[in-house]
Amino acid sequence: MIPLHPNKLKMKLHRNLVFASIDALHDIFNEKKQADKVLRNTLKRDKRWGARDRSFIAETTYDIVRWKRLYAEIAEVKEPFDRGNLFRMFTVWATLHGIQIPDWPQFEATPTRRIKGRFDELSKIRKLRESIPDWLDELGEKELGKKWDKEIAALNKQASVILRVNPLKATLEEVQAKLSEAEIQTETIKGYPHALKLVERANVFVTDAFQNGWFEVQDASSQKVAQLLDPKPGMRIIDVCAGAGGKSLHIASLMENKGQVVSMDIYANKLTELKRRARRNGIHNIETRVIDSSKAIKKLIGKADKLLIDAPCSGLGVLRRNPDAKWKLEPEFLDKIRATQVEILDSYSRMVKPGGQMVYATCSILPSENEKQVKAFLKREAGQDFTMTKDQKILPSISEFDGFYMALLQKKEAE
């Protein structure tokens, strides 16, 4: 359900900020551009904007992206949205947040009196209340049953900003103190030894602590993956879907820079970003390798003490931070990604040494991408030498963090 913000009741709307939000929404909805990239560019438009102005544009835009279907139904508009439609949707957002609509020509055609009534009426239907496509609502109910109600509601809440402290550079207390000097307050999270949660959202990337590699931004659920893998100094660990390397960096820091992390990905540009981040983190035991042919995998068969497969997935568990993903996801993509997960498990699991371990992880809450994939793998020829040690489902409704799944598999010793 949409949270109403009493602190916004006396808010006065500023024309340039509203127009910037409308421009951003046009790019996201009509030009199909990625929300985070659009906002990054939008927020650079006017150097005079302060932190509050930027926060208004970002939060308003993300809110309207998150509730697109519901707001469009209330406003009685259909895609593609022209500017008039976008202003009608903005009016829905403002009215539901108790903000006075200014007397601007752009808002003339909006029936504000009917908005709350339509909101109450449409909120009785889950797919409209939670603002998701029909197919996704059907899939969620099919896979999760009654749990789907709670999970999709939790995935529509704004994500907290979580930091992962880099123990090679600083302690939790040192990072807290340093950020406090910059007027950024944080709190620790029980059960997450390197995590700090921001009390209020802030731009942490401009702080000295970030520039000096004292921390990375990484959700608490994502931090559990390296914990489950339990890397030790001196090991050879392979991260086969490393991307820009959030988990590789975490693994390397837990290894105290001793041993080797081989970070692999099919995208060279992501690995370039990982190298840059590693330098800032003071990490020098990561070697990056692009997967450009089957040779890259063959060279490492039987070489990993531990292997991480952070598999490509639907990303349903991280909808809170990527609300535009639900409008881009399609059922055909899910079928393809599940087939990819099968291929990756069968191919990359060969890298694990006899007696070694492997973690399979996704940022999805769907059993078909998670425990069902692992069970099917263990029955196939590729998985016959492995047994499940333990697995963990992190549900957003319980944890208040991203939805994740992770399974630790043990490979039997050589005979």
Task: For tokens 């425990």, name the residue.
Answer: 371
Take residue 49 and report the two structure tokens written for it.
């904007």
What CA–CA distance (Å, rounded) separates 341 from 399? 25
Active-site residue, from 20, 283, 352, 363? 363
Take residue 252 and report the two structure tokens written for it.
């390397």
53, 17 contact by CB (below 8 A): yes
Please, what sign has the CA dihedral across residues 218, 222, 227, 231? negative
Q: Is 313 part of the annotated catalytic residue set?
A: no
Q: Which residues are registered as beta bridge partners of 187?
A: 197
Task: For tokens 């960096």, name the residue.
Answer: 249
Please, what sign has the CA dihedral across residues 52, 54, 55, 60? positive
What CA–CA distance (Å, rounded) separates 107 from 378? 59
Three-state DSSP class for residue 289: strand
Three-state DSSP class for residue 49: coil
Q: What is the DSSP letter of 356?
A: E
What CA–CA distance (Å, rounded) separates 281 from 211? 9
For residue 167, the one-letter residue type is P
What is Dmax (Cα atoms) for the chain? 80
Three-state DSSP class for residue 305: strand
Q: Which residues are registered as beta bridge partners of 411?
A: 386
What CA–CA distance (Å, rounded) separates 249 from 196? 17
Three-state DSSP class for residue 224: helix
What CA–CA distance (Å, rounded) separates 39 from 21? 9
CA 237 → CA 135, 219, 311, 346, 349, distances in Å? 39, 22, 16, 18, 13
Burial label for 318, CB within 10 Å (0-12, 13-18, 19+), is buried
Three-state DSSP class for residue 155: helix
- Give catalytic residue positions: 363
